[in-house]
């Protein structure tokens, strides 16, 4: 916990212009100062968003289970989506449209990241005991990070996963349900872009619009379709992690949702081509 408090203090001091002598803090302070100069003092990096990420990570340091799929979505919103908000604000850009799209992409990223980590968190490598020269190791207790409501619905038992790994009964059904939610968020982001281009509207309201640090002026809220599309054009690079997330979800589907399949932990050599295609055509 002291480690996380260190980062809270470091972020606070860096954004105040008095960073400690730590490389990340110095670079963050420089980025904040550069943003202030480029925007004429109108834009800033939100300390609250940084603290939200740190606090959320702190809550899950011990790998406690997610009680529900909605709780996993909240984790993803408070970490991955929030990092995208910070990246957008560094452009600088304050846009309800791009924040809304980023929210869905970040949720998909966070959910997929938790799925990717299941084999490593459930069966972590042994930890060395004693000094750094010691060869003695001790087993480390793993954790299953699938949402408990999904495990209950699929009738998957944690004990079965620890005993049988990928062969645990109905595990793939639970993985499928969680992966589907991540994929749904990417589909929603693509549909929003399509509706904005064809009908001038995103199709639904931004559920986090009234949360702290999502502050939009009347002018920003009243932008027409052309102005919103201009914001999307400026921000499109920030949306590119959706390409890697979709690619991994597609690979997961190809192995019939066996999250323990070793092929899911190999490099996707097609990813650079997919990313180039998506960016050049402005397609997620």
How confident is the model over 183-230, as pLDDT tens digits?
999 999 999 999 999 999 999 999 999 998 898 999 999 999 999 999
pLDDT greater than 90 at residue 1: no
Q: Categorize the per-residue pLDDT at 3 as very low, low, confident or very high, splitting at 50, 70 and 90.
A: confident
Beta-carbon contacts of residue 165 (< 8 Å; ≥ 6 apart): 119, 122, 123, 260
Quote the number of domains for the chain: 1
Residues 144-182: pLDDT tens digits?
Answer: 999 999 999 999 999 999 999 999 999 999 999 999 999
pLDDT at site 126: 79
**Is pLDDT of 137 > 90?**
no
| 76-84 mean pLDDT | 98
Residue 37 lies in a domain: no
Six-digit token string for 51? 């603290």
Region 18-41: what's the mean pLDDT?
96
Q: Is residue 138 part of a domain?
A: no
Structural domain including 166 reads 96-124+144-281
Q: Is 11 within the bounds of a domain?
A: no
Contacts of residue 282, defined as CB under 8 A and 6 or more positions apart, other chains included, come to 232, 233, 236
Does residue 101 fall inside a structural domain? yes
What count of Cα atoms within 13 Å lies in the side-chain half-sphere of residue 141? 5
Dihedral over alpha carbons 182, 80, 221, 284 (to 10 degrees)? -50
Is residue 64 in a domain? no
Quick one: pLDDT at residue 125?
84
Residue 157 within any structural domain of the chain: yes
Report the pLDDT value the prediction gives residue 2, as an integer from 0 to 100: 78
Residue 57 located in a structural domain: no
pLDDT number for residue 244: 98
pLDDT at 139: 56
Closest CA to 185 of 171, 201, 204, 198: 204
At residue 16, does pLDDT exceed 90? yes
Kindly report whether the global pTM for this prediction surpasses the value 0.85: yes
* Band of residue 89 on the pLDDT scale cut at 50, 70, 90: very high
* pLDDT of 141 strictly over 80: no
Read off the pLDDT of residues 99-136 as tens digits, 9 standing for 90 and up: 999 999 999 999 999 999 999 999 998 776 655 555 55
| 7 in a structural domain | no
Say how far apart CA 231 and CA 241 lie, in whole Å: 18
Main-chain dihedrals φ then ψ at residue 127, nearest 5 degrees: -100, 135
The whole-chain average pLDDT of the chain stands at: 94
């Amino acid at each position: 916990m002291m480690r996380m408090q260190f980062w809270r203090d470091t972020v606070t001091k860096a954004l105040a212009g008095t960073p400690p002598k730590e490389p990340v803090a110095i670079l963050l302070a420089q980025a904040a100062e550069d943003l202030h100069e480029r925007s004429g003092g109108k834009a800033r990096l939100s300390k609250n968003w940084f603290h939200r990420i740190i606090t959320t990570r702190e809550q899950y340091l011990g790998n406690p289970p997610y009680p529900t799929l909605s709780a996993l979505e909240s984790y993803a919103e408070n970490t991955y989506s929030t990092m995208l908000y910070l990246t957008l604000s560094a452009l600088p850009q304050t846009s309800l449209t791009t924040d809304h799209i980023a929210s869905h992409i970040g949720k998909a990223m966070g959910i997929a990241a938790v799925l990717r980590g299941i084999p490593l968190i459930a069966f972590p490598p042994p930890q060395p005991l004693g000094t750094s020269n010691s060869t003695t190791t001790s087993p480390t207790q793993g954790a299953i990070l699938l949402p408990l409501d999904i495990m209950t619905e699929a009738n998957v038992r944690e004990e079965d996963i620890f005993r049988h790994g990928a062969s645990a009964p109905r595990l793939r059904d639970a993985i499928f349900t969680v992966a589907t939610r991540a994929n749904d968020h990417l589909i929603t982001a693509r549909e929003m872009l399509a509706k904005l281009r064809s009908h001038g509207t995103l199709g639904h309201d931004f559920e986090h619009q009234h949360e702290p640090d999502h502050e939009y002026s009347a002018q920003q809220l009243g932008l027409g379709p052309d102005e919103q599309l201009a914001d999307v054009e400026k921000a499109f690079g920030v949306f590119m992690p959706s390409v890697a997330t979709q690619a991994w979800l597609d690979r997961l589907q190809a192995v019939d949702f066996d999250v323990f399949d070793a092929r899911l932990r190999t490099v996707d050599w097609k990813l650079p081509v997919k990313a180039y295609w998506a960016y050049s055509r402005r397609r997620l």
